[in-house]
Amino acid sequence: MTAETLAHLIKDSNRTVVLTGAGMSTESGIPDFRSSTGLWQNIDPRIVASTESLQKNYEQFREFYQMRITALVNCKPHQGHLILADFEKRGLVSLIATQNVDQLHQQAGSKNVAELHGNIVSIRCQKCGKPHGKEQFLNYSICTYCSGKLRPNVVLFGETLPTEAWERTLHEIHEADLVIVIGTSLEVYPVNQMPSMSKGKLVYINREQTSTSLHYSFDLVLEGSAGEILADVHRELGDFKKL
């Protein structure tokens, strides 16, 4: 079972949805969360990425997201992001639903992207909701309208997912006959429920099998780096397209 098998599945599919996680961005220099080099190995997410930390540990919360936003500036989409954008253009992928908050799929040219966990590129006031500039957050500003705390539009632990992105993804997953899950441990609810909501074929591309991913009945598992495996699939597909 190789990239060639996945290329065949893509050719035979009428509607393919891709679900990505932090492992999709590590080859762009952004650490993931739960692998041996992941952020949560050294940082407690409850202290820096939860509604409680926003309320009670704002300085640590702000510092954590300032660090992530600043680090993002030097990160560019890698070949895997570009290949998925190309697949969309060729009518081979109908939606990229991502847990990532880095907007690298959009930077790579993907148009139909559902941000299931929001993003850290845009900022709002926690109290009045008014949008603010990234620089204002990086410069320790408060809300210019109500003096409230500024925060990225990321979904924090304890918050619900954005309804539009969730419902659009659910709809697409129900319609899909192929779901390709890339670079996620599938540890985080409710996104980790989505693959099993599909009636289609399920494919998993990840550097390792995780304790959770082992519970899924994938039709195909490709262990390795997302960028390299997608490059192999791209090669196997040649100039095949559906548009």
- The residues that touch ligand APR, with contacts defined as CB under 6 A, are 21-23, 26-27, 32-35, 38, 45, 99, 117, 183-185, 187-188, 206-208, 210, 225-226
Pairing of β 131-132 and β 118-125: antiparallel
CB of 145 to ligand APR, least distance (A): 28
Q: Which is nearer to ligand APR, 43 or 170 (CB)?
A: 43
CB of 26 to ligand APR, least distance (A): 4
CB of 205 to ligand APR, least distance (A): 6
CB of 30 to ligand APR, least distance (A): 10
Q: Which is nearer to ligand APR, 81 or 143 (CB)?
A: 81
The rounded distance, in Å, linking the Cα atoms of 229 and 232 is 5
HEC string of 143-163 equals CCCCCCCEEEEECCECCCCCH
Full DSSP string of 18-67: EEE-GGGTGGGT---SSSTT-GGGTS-HHHHSBHHHHHH-HHHHHHHHHH
Q: Which is nearer to ligand APR, 45 or 109 (CB)?
A: 45
Q: Which residue is nearest to ligand APR (CB)?
A: 23
Active-site amino acid positions: 117
Q: Which is nearer to ligand APR, 136 or 212 (CB)?
A: 212
The rounded distance, in Å, linking the Cα atoms of 136 and 121 is 12
